[in-house]
Amino acid sequence: MRDYDEIIAFLGEWGPFQRLVFFLLSASIIPNGFNGMSAVFLAGIPEHRCRIPAGANLSAAWLNASAPLEERGGKAVAQRCRRYSLRALSNLSAQGLLPGDVDLAALEQEPCLDGWDYSTEPYLATIVSQWNLVCDDDWKVPLTTSLFFVGVLLGSFISGQLSDRFGRKAILFATMGVQTGFSFLQIFSTSWEMFTVLFLIVGMGQISNYVVAFILGSEILGKSVRIIFSTLGVCIFFAIGYMLLPLFAYFIRDWRMLLLALTLPGVLCVPLWWIIPESPRWLISQGRFEEAEVIIRKAAQKNGIPAPAVIFDSTEVQDLKNRQQKGMLLDLFRTPNIAVITVMSLFLWMITSIGYFSLSLSTPNLHGDVYLNCFLSALTEVPACVIAWLLLRTLPRRYSISGTLFLGGGIILFLQLVPQNLHILSVTLVMLGKFGVTSAFSMLYVYTAELYPTIVRNMAVGAASMSSRVGSIIAPYFVYLGAYDRFLPYILMGSLTVLIGILTLFLPESYGNPLPETFEEMLQIKGFRNRKNTYKIGNSTQHELNSKNLRTSF
């Protein structure tokens, strides 16, 4: 009995229809690059110091020396959160004394009781200067970004359920609307709390759009195009949006106007509703064979290929219906063997995500121009995706992922040995580390999908994606640690990345194997030893392994 891929084989792999779907779905990912990393500039922290009120009656010399000095970046600079007592300074200024005439260390200090003065370089205004998210409130900055990724976590949890229930296309455009609409509402935020709640909702739309576009493309495109779509397509177009972000931010340095500029491209996706089709695979899973056949015939017409008189005969319709089985989340932990693979995969996704987002969000902390550093960070993703695609085509999965993680983690660990005056070398090493981690991240979707059988494949990828979102929630706090020690975030990131690179070598190898349809086929992948038995999976009985005799041969 033919499967779906055999039924539509007459369409070919790379006709006008497939090319249109490939590029339009990839282009729909571009706004995700805006929203995913926009916090780098929206929540940028400008230089600041305690404000001295106009009525303080201080001389110019005492105004300049009103804040105690601290060492930051190898230089003595004014403290951001403390100043000398204005009462004491006024008395000294009235006596005609200069800062050099007194022992400043003996002067009383006080917090910034009158607010802060913010530098307008490189940012004219950010949410930090808008709502004074500094000093005692500086914890709100990483929380803002973390809550965005909490929204991403929630979105990744519900998007798969909604797209399975209401269709890929409907949820794709609904989530595009959420992402664009709530980004627009953020412009009118009147408080940090309002901005952050809206940012959380934007995160829900952002990841749902990305995941559903990925699933829709994977289900419409043929076998030979899916890997290209999941690496060169989705990843590179995300990188294009990411690269455009610092270009917009360079010319628009007020956070409200920048957010407006980043929101408008999402409106351009509206006409795609009349071009991008629903997934025929999903329609078949819902028993809507007539609608699926209409889409397939239109695809054949666009490709200039005559369609068979009968695409789904009655026997195949009944067989495809019988194959529509569903697994449960517990099936990912059904046996000790499978449970170990699942847990290791979850950790792999989470730690890789921590490294990726920590390096992406820390670009303002690097030496040099923040806009150039962000652009370079985005540009690095293009060759990383190309390398990921090449590795997936030619080399075993676990060695490819482990090797790129070793590369990224090792380089990040090496950063602490670089002298502080070698700024260009430091930035170059960070970009190389980002290159390694991004390459590994780009391969995880394909690798995870190849490990699990059809009955739980989407569930496995969804669970792994949720684990990566936990990593992205943690990542801003890794960046936050840089305020205490410049190298501490890199030491933690590098150590975890190298560790997970080692553990990846203990996962099974899926390279060269057909996609497993059952758990029995899954456990025939290199890296497993098994004995057969029968047990229940989800709502169906699968011919499977005896869990008492499961052993993993890594």
**Position 77 pLDDT exceeds 60:** yes
Mean pLDDT of 163-179: 83
pLDDT band at 28 (very low <50, low <70, confident <90, very high): confident
Q: 1 and 74: one domain?
A: no
Q: 314 and 409: one domain?
A: no
Mean pLDDT of 444-452: 80
- Residue 526 inside a domain? The answer is yes
Q: 333 and 467: one domain?
A: yes
Q: Tell which residue, 548, 165, 5, 542, has the closest CA to residue 327.
A: 542
Mean pLDDT of 299-312: 78
Q: 448 and 346: one domain?
A: yes
Q: Tell which residue, 353, 236, 257, 203, has the closest CA to residue 41.
A: 257
Q: 503 and 413: one domain?
A: yes
Q: 227 and 291: one domain?
A: yes
Looking at the chain, the whole-number percentage of residues with pLDDT higher than 90 is 8
pLDDT band at 385 (very low <50, low <70, confident <90, very high): confident
- DSSP three-state, residue 326: coil
Q: 251 and 368: one domain?
A: no
- Residue 485 inside a domain? The answer is yes
Return the higher-pLDDT residue of 351 and 511.
351
* Structural domain boundaries enclosing 104: 48-118
Q: How many domains does the chain have?
A: 3
Q: 24 and 65: one domain?
A: no
For the chain, what is the mean pLDDT? Answer: 80
- Residue 123 inside a domain? The answer is no
Sign of CA dihedral 409, 414, 420, 426: negative
> Looking at residue 491, which CATH number applies to its domain?
1.20.1250.20
Q: 386 and 517: one domain?
A: yes
Mean pLDDT of 173-183: 88
Query: What per-residue confidence (pLDDT) applies to 425?
Result: 81
- Residue 126 inside a domain? The answer is no
Q: 60 and 176: one domain?
A: no
Mean pLDDT of 131-156: 87
Using only C-alpha atoms, the chain has a radius of gyration, in whole angstroms, of 27
Backbone angles phi, psi at 378, to 5 degrees: -70, -40
Q: Tell the burial category of 421 from Cβ atoms under 10 Å away from its Cβ (0-12, 13-18, 19+).
A: exposed
In this structure, of 25-34, 277-286, 370-379, 509-518, the range with the lowest mean pLDDT score is 509-518
Q: Tell the burial category of 240 from Cβ atoms under 10 Å away from its Cβ (0-12, 13-18, 19+).
A: middle
Q: How many C-beta neighbours within 10 Å does residue 132 have? A: 17
Q: 400 and 518: one domain?
A: yes
Query: What per-residue confidence (pLDDT) applies to 91?
Result: 84
- Residue 128 inside a domain? The answer is no
pTM (2 d.p.): 0.77
Q: Where is the domain boundary, 84, 118, 152?
A: 118
Sign of CA dihedral 392, 397, 399, 402: positive
pLDDT band at 73 (very low <50, low <70, confident <90, very high): low
Mean pLDDT of 264-282: 84
- Residue 437 inside a domain? The answer is yes
In this structure, of 31-35, 255-259, 375-379, the range with the lowest mean pLDDT score is 31-35
Q: Where is the domain boundary, 293, 324, 355?
A: 324
Question: Is 148 within 8 Å of 200 (Cβ atoms)?
Answer: yes
Buried b (16+ CB within 10 A) or exposed e, 511-543: bebeebebbbbbbbbebbebeebeeebbeeebe
**Position 539 pLDDT exceeds 80:** no
Query: What per-residue confidence (pLDDT) applies to 127?
Result: 93
- Residue 125 inside a domain? The answer is no
- Residue 127 inside a domain? The answer is no
Mean pLDDT of 422-446: 85
Return the higher-pLDDT residue of 336 and 72.
336
pLDDT band at 526 (very low <50, low <70, confident <90, very high): low
Q: How many C-beta neighbours within 10 Å does residue 288 have? A: 15
- Tens-place pLDDT, residues 91-128: 888 888 888 778 887 888 888 888 898 988 888 999 99
Q: 137 and 113: one domain?
A: no
Q: Where is the domain boundary, 67, 83, 118?
A: 118
Query: What per-residue confidence (pLDDT) applies to 188?
Result: 93
